[in-house]
Structure 1
Amino acid sequence: MSLTVPVILGSVRSDRQGIRAARFLVAELEARGHAAPLVDPAELKLPLLDRMYKEYPSGEAPEPLECLAAIYRRADAFVVVSAEYNHSIPPALSNTLDHFLEEYFWRPSAICCYSAGQYGGVRAAMQLRAMLAELGAPSIPSLLPIPRIQKALSEAGEPAEDWLRKAAGKFLDELTWYAEALRAKRATGTPY
């Protein structure tokens, strides 16, 4: 069953490494037959949050928000790729996520976190779990942490280490299960 799973990248830094993980996950999702549009805050150039998408009069939101809303409305799940900045999530990721709310409802999320060091960004992932649940897109139990990302993935997103493709397979199997289950339930209605 084909799904739409936006991959939301969290960094806008000029030397960001997360683009490697995002490219890898987009390719892995597409290999499964899923649509996996990349949501890149560096390309979107969203302003700092002043008004949420829903607070604009219909048809008057800035073009990047209108495009993103259309992608999110089609989504069955979300993959969020996050670095760890000061034991927390990057500000660009928070800003990208905070522009929306209802578009996330009743859709699962999955967290891929990374770092240049050995911990793979897991401290940021714990904070991101709480945020995604509050947005209405609770994260699946599994994480995909990628330590030493600069060695684990090439610039093009090709894994240099065998464990990564295997771990990603299990991670995406779990997300697919939740996405299919929640899509079936959304089709019969939601609590509100």
Structure 2
Amino acid sequence: MSDRILIFYGSYRSDRQGIRLAEWLVGAFAERGAAAELIDAKAIDLPMLDRMYKEHPKGEAPPALEALAEKIRTADAFVFVTGEYNWGVQPGLKNLTDHFLEEWYWRPAAIASYSAGRIAAARAALTWHGILSEMGMVVVSSTIAVGAIGHALNAAGTPTGDGGAALTRAFPRFADDLGWWTQAAKAQRERRTPPY
């Protein structure tokens, strides 16, 4: 059975270039046999966090929230594709993740960052590492960082130039690392009930 991987993307901007990376990752994981799905925060459009999923009476959460909770609960692993706003994380992606907590537990996560400049959102990726760990995920050590996103992936989402070549070179290790932890987490959950 293939690994179910949710790939989260959180920009709400009108000229979104990072979506190219998110969509490319869906395809790249699919080529390796994973059942990868893009979760686009803008398309889901959850309201600003007022009440977490778990704070709704059972069966009364808004339909979009209920559907996403089920996808998160049944996923094997997660990839967070993040840009960087003023040295920080994108509010759309952070808002989406904050609607949930226990649903994330005991699964691995990986971080892929991007920016228009050469820093490739490294500061946001570092911040996400702590956030995801606090939310109960094991964050793998391999990362993808794509600078000059508009040149590394063209409008069709095809890797181009030096940046695109670097992305395609980095992906196998990134996917292998996430895959190893995914299998480890699956095996442990089958062997023993999580402690909380």
TM-score range, shorter chain: over 0.9
Q: 1:120 is paired with a residue of what secondary structure? A: coil
Distance 2:109 2:178 in 1: 7
Tell me the CA shift for residue 157 of structure 1: 2.2
Which of 179, 182, 188 pairs up with 2:182?
Answer: 179
Identity among equivalent positions (%) equals: 47
Instruction: State TM-score, norm by structure 2.
Output: 0.95
Which of 154, 165, 171 pairs up with 1:162?
Answer: 165
Cα deviation 1:22-76 (Å, max 9, x = unaligned): 0010001111111111110111010000010011111111111111011111111
Say what the alpha-carbon RMSD is for the aligned residues.
1.0
Q: 1:80 is paired with a residue of what secondary structure? A: strand
- Counterpart amino acid of residue 9 in structure 2: L
Cα deviation 1:84-122 (Å, max 9, x = unaligned): 101110110110100001111010100000000111110
Whether the aligned pair in 2 keeps the contact of 1:140 and 1:174 (CA below 8 Å) is yes
Runs of 5+ unmatched residues, structure 2: none
Distance 2:52 2:156 in 1: 33
Distance 2:73 2:37 in 1: 13
Corresponding residue for residue 81 of structure 1: 81
Tell me the CA shift for residue 190 of structure 1: 1.1
- Counterpart amino acid of residue 131 in structure 2: M
Distance 2:67 2:48 in 1: 17
Q: 1:14 is paired with a residue of what secondary structure? A: coil
Distance 2:166 2:10 in 1: 23
Compare relative contact order (CA 8 Å, sep 6+) and give the higher one, 1 or 2. 1
- Counterpart amino acid of residue 125 in structure 2: A
Corresponding residue for residue 68 of structure 1: 68
Between structures 1 and 2, the one with greater strand share: 2
Corresponding residue for residue 22 of structure 1: 22
Q: Work out whether 1:191 is the aligned partner of 2:195.
A: yes
Tell me the CA shift for residue 156 of structure 1: 3.1
Whether the aligned pair in 2 keeps the contact of 1:22 and 1:157 (CA below 8 Å) is no
Runs of 5+ unmatched residues, structure 1: none
Corresponding residue for residue 107 of structure 2: 107
Structure 1 runs (4+) deviating above 4 angstroms are none
Instruction: State TM-score, norm by structure 1.
Output: 0.97
Whether the aligned pair in 2 keeps the contact of 1:113 and 1:125 (CA below 8 Å) is yes
- Counterpart amino acid of residue 64 in structure 2: P
Where in structure 2 are the equivalents of 1:111-130 lying within 5 Å? 111-130=111-130
